[in-house]
């Protein structure tokens, strides 16, 4: 009986640690998603600004501490590529969040079942003492 209780308690502890790790990972995923959302908004604003320019307008790109001349078309293509990349990364992060959520649900269910087993063992033991 004592062995069963100790075994269940150690399993619950292990599962709880795994759950905590999953929760920390989730926090990182959420922070990453937030950064991607911010980058997407910034690039959408740049895209709108570029769309307002005349075709012959001069556009400069900041590379390190140097302004480099670019055509308007090059700038639009670069921003479009960045938005595509950000969209793909966002999809990856969303998939990771869904996967992590499912893992957390499974761990919580597992922990809950083990806690119920532990409770039943303790209840049975207490009933046997009362007889």
Condensed to tens digits (0 to 9), the pLDDT of residues 73-123 reads 999 999 999 999 999 999 999 999 999 999 999 999 999 999 999 999 888
Local confidence band at 3 (pLDDT 50, 70, 90 cut-offs): confident
Can you tell me which residue has the tokens 């929760």?
A: 23
Q: By three-state DSSP, how is residue 107 classified?
A: helix
- Higher-scoring residue by pLDDT: 2, 64: 64
Paired tokens of 113:
């079942």
Residue 20 has what pLDDT? 98
Q: CATH no. for residue 13?
A: 1.10.287.370
Expressed as residue numbers, the domain containing 17 is 2-130
List Cα–Cα distances, 9 to 93, 116, 122, in angstroms: 34, 11, 12
Q: Which residues neighbour 48 within 8 Å (Cβ) at sequence distance 6 or greater?
A: none
Domain count, the chain: 1
Can you tell me which residue has the tokens 């670019």?
A: 70
Q: What H or E segment, with its residue span, contains residue 101?
A: helix 72-130
Residue 125 has what pLDDT? 85
Q: DSSP code of 67?
A: E
Residue 126 has what pLDDT? 86
Distance separating alpha carbons of residues 96 and 27, to the nearest angstrom:
11
Residue 4 has what pLDDT? 86
What string of DSSP letters covers 39-64?
HHHHHHHHHHHHHHS-TT--EEEEET
Q: Does the pLDDT value for residue 131 go beyond 80?
A: no
């Amino acid at each position: 009986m004592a062995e069963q209780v100790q075994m269940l308690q150690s399993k619950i502890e292990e599962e709880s640690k795994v759950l905590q790790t999953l929760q920390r990972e989730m926090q990182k995923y959420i922070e990453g998603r937030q950064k991607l959302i911010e980058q997407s908004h910034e690039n959408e604003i740049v895209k709108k600004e570029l769309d307002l320019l005349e075709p012959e307008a001069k556009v400069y790109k900041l590379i390190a501490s140097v302004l480099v001349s670019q055509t308007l078309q090059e700038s639009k293509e670069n921003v479009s590529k960045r938005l595509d990349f950000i969209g793909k990364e966002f999809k990856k992060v969303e998939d990771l969040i869904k996967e992590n959520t499912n893992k957390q649900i499974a761990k919580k269910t597992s922990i809950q079942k083990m806690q119920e087993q532990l409770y039943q063992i303790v209840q049975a033991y207490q009933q046997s003492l009362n007889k």
